[in-house]
Structure 1
């Protein structure tokens, strides 16, 4: 299973606020479509974001598990409701499961392989057999 680091507040919004699109400047590699991934809240905050909530204070930890269901490019951003950015690839997410307790982990750029202890800690909080 791979993980994807996402800046706060976006990782928290995926886990707790029904955000089901991740905006990226690059197209989703085809091999990741349909894959279960870990959502990792990065250490850096997006300074332009205007989303708030108590869960947004989590940094450097896995906060959810999700399935990447597809990707499309949007010029105007309106296709994905209030979460879609213009001139961005929209990676669509489904089956999001927020973790009750964030699992500390060091993130990386792009998709990355979480260590076994992180996977075990996530697995302990979920009923998902695919981890």
Structure 2
């Protein structure tokens, strides 16, 4: 069965270290910091990378957000829409408490957590998921409509 989003260029994957992926899926973190501009807009699979950002676990904002949540790694654990990418103007307040100075902020909306993690390998930058991976993800989201 072919996924409704399986046509080329309809969806990408993004790999994010934990606990940041969990913060996005908790609904608290609505941006992802990246070193350069991303032109991609649309649906992205949220892939939790293999590594956990251990120092981030001691940040109070993060610790409160992830309390009681699993920190799955090496798997697609959700889906979201990437709607914008911007930098905060120099000298201005950050757009959210999650924003890091000097980085590009990927603006994320409509984050949905998968019922079960789907093991997968990710990579840096936006990546194209395989048909098989998309099928395994969308099998868990029968009512999903882009």
Cα shift readout 1:68-91 (whole Å, capped 9, x = no counterpart) = 111111246843321111111111
Does the C-alpha gap of structure 1 residues 56 and 65 become closer, same or farther in structure 2, counting only changes over 3 Å? Answer: same
Structure 1: 4+ residue segments shifted above 6 A: none
1:81 is aligned to: 96
Residue 67 of structure 2 corresponds to residue 67 of structure 1: no
CA distance in 1, matches of 2:50, 2:24: 16
1:55 is aligned to: 69
Give the structure-1-normalised TM-score: 0.86
Cα shift readout 1:38-95 (whole Å, capped 9, x = no counterpart) = 0100001123313233434200011111111111112468433211111111110111
SS of the residue 1:110 aligns to = coil
- Coordinate RMSD, CA, aligned: 1.8
Q: How far is 1:37 from its partner? A: 0.6
Does the C-alpha gap of structure 1 residues 12 and 77 become closer, same or farther in structure 2, counting only changes over 3 Å? Answer: farther
Mean Cα displacement is larger for which, 108-117 or 73-82?
A: 73-82
CA distance in 1, matches of 2:54, 2:92: 20
1:44 is aligned to: 51
CA distance in 2, matches of 1:105, 1:77: 38
Gaps of 5+ in 2: 1-10
1:118 is aligned to: 133
CA distance in 1, matches of 2:76, 2:115: 11
Give the structure-2-normalised TM-score: 0.78
2:144 is aligned to: 128
